[in-house]
Amino acid sequence: MRLSSFARPALTIRQTCDNLIKKGFQLLSDYNFILSADRQTELIVFHRASSLNLYKANIRRKNYKTKKEQYKIDCLTEDILDICQDRKSENFYRKVADLMPDEDIYQAISEVKEVRDSGHVKKSLGAVFTSRILKFAEQRGIILR
């Protein structure tokens, strides 16, 4: 059986997606093909895993506690806000306080203070903190965004 020029790429995409899902690629939970409005083009729709499912997968994989106590999250968030002075990012900092280990948060805060005290700040302190904490999160396999 000979495949049409449209079927070959679709088959390759299906096999690749199936393999990614089978191997546990966290950003892809499902996919499907649909016809465009003009019925001439086949489109692929990728379905991302929900952030809640990603959070649960990270908890299981790394054996983190599912939730810190609320007062601890509030205190960590305030510590981050004190150094970053960035209230518009409070929700992100709250998520960091909930998901990240305390030692990583305090390490990032310490590095931000060092940058601030050296006087070599080229971007906001919030941006410096965010870049550091995202690096720590990546090393631990925690998805923050």
Instruction: Give the pLDDT confidence score for residue 126 in this predicted structure.
Output: 92
Evaluate if residue 48 carries a pLDDT over 80.
no
Domain that holds residue 38: 7-49
| Same-domain pairing of 40 and 94 | no
| Same-domain pairing of 39 and 62 | no
Of 24, 85, 79, give the one whose Cα is nearest residue 49: 24
Q: Report yes or no on 25 lying in a domain.
A: yes
Evaluate if residue 20 carries a pLDDT over 80.
yes
| Same-domain pairing of 102 and 66 | yes
Instruction: Give the pLDDT confidence score for residue 60 in this predicted structure.
Output: 47
| Same-domain pairing of 37 and 87 | no
Number of domains in the chain: 2
| Same-domain pairing of 130 and 61 | yes
Assigned token pair, 62:
């790394």
Q: What is the mean pLDDT of the chain?
A: 79
Q: Which residues contact 64 (CB under 8 A, 6 or more apart)?
A: 58, 99, 101, 142
Q: Report yes or no on 100 lying in a domain.
A: yes
Q: Report yes or no on 124 lying in a domain.
A: yes
| Same-domain pairing of 71 and 118 | yes
Where does residue 142 rank: exposed (0-12), middle (13-18), buried (19+ CB within 10 A)? buried
Q: Report yes or no on 1 lying in a domain.
A: no
Instruction: Give the pLDDT confidence score for residue 51 in this predicted structure.
Output: 46
Most confident residue range from 18-22, 42-46, 66-70: 18-22
| Same-domain pairing of 35 and 65 | no
Instruction: Give the pLDDT confidence score for residue 67 in this predicted structure.
Output: 60
Instruction: Give the pLDDT confidence score for residue 26 in this predicted structure.
Output: 67
The model's pLDDT over 49-88, given as tens digits with 9 standing for 90+, comes to 554 454 445 544 444 444 678 888 989 999 999 999 989 9
